[in-house]
Amino acid sequence: MRPRRRETPKTGANESASRSVRYRNLVNPFEPTRIFSDDQIESIHATALGMLERQGMRVLSPRGRAALAAAGAKVDDSTQMVYVEPGMVAEALKTVPAEVELVARNPARSCRVGGRHVVFAPVAGPPSVSDLTGGKRTGSLEEYRNFVRLSQAYDVIHVNGQMVEPQDAPLPERHLQTSLAQLSLSDKAPYFYCRGTAQLADCFEMARIAHGIDEATFRSKPVCYTICNTNSPLQLDIPMTEGILEFAANGQLVIVTPFTLAGAMAPITIAGALTLAHAEALLGITLTQVVRPGTPVMYGSFTSNVDMKSGSPAFGTPEYTKAAFGAGQLARRIGVPWRCSSATASNAPDAQSAYESQMSLWGALLGGCHFILHSAGWLEGGLTASYEKFILDIEMLQMFAEIFQPVTTSADDLAVEAVVEAGIGGHFFATAHTMQRYRDAFYTPLVSDWRNYGAWSDDGAKTATERAGAVARRTLESFQTPALDPAIEEALKDFVARRRSEGGAPPVS
Phi, psi for 305 (deg, rounded to 5): -130, 160
Site for its own copies in 386-415 (CB under 8 A): 392, 395-396, 399-400, 402-403, 407-409, 412-415
Q: Is 307 in the site for its own copies (CB under 8 A)?
A: yes
Site for its own copies in 73-132 (CB under 8 A): 81, 124-127
Q: How many CB atoms lie within 10 A of CB 204?
A: 21
Q: Is 13 in the site for its own copies (CB under 8 A)?
A: yes
> For residues 202 and 287, what is the distance between their CA atoms, to the nearest angstrom?
23
SS3 category, 385? strand
Shortest distance in whole angstroms from residue 372 CB to its own copies? 13
Site for its own copies in 348-377 (CB under 8 A): 348-359, 362, 366, 373
Site string for its own copies, 129-168 (x = CB under 8 A): -------x--------------------------------
> For residues 436 and 291, what is the distance between their CA atoms, to the nearest angstrom?
57
Shortest distance in whole angstroms from residue 222 CB to its own copies? 20
Separation in Å, CA 313 to CA 109, 262, 309, 429, 483 = 34, 9, 11, 50, 41
> For residues 293 and 296, what is the distance between their CA atoms, to the nearest angstrom?
9
Contact with its own copies (CB under 8 A): which of 89, 447, 484, 505?
Answer: 447
Tell how many helices (H) and how many strands (E) occur in the chain.
Answer: 18, 19
Q: Is 277 in the site for its own copies (CB under 8 A)?
A: no
Shortest distance in whole angstroms from residue 231 CB to its own copies? 6
Nearer to its own copies, 223 or 447 (CB): 447
User: In angstroms, how far is the first alpha carbon of the chain from the final one?
Assistant: 60
> For residues 239 and 224, what is the distance between their CA atoms, to the nearest angstrom?
17
Q: Is 503 in the site for its own copies (CB under 8 A)?
A: no
Q: Is 460 in the site for its own copies (CB under 8 A)?
A: no
Q: Is 494 in the site for its own copies (CB under 8 A)?
A: no
Separation in Å, CA 288 to CA 100, 241, 243, 337, 411 = 15, 10, 10, 14, 51
Q: How many residues bind its own copies (CB under 8 A)?
A: 148
Answer for the pair 49, 330: CB distance below 8 angstroms, yes or no.
no
The interface region with its own copies, picked from 109-117, 174-182, 381-389, 475-483 by CB under 8 A, is 381-389
Q: Is 27 in the site for its own copies (CB under 8 A)?
A: no
Q: Is 458 in the site for its own copies (CB under 8 A)?
A: no
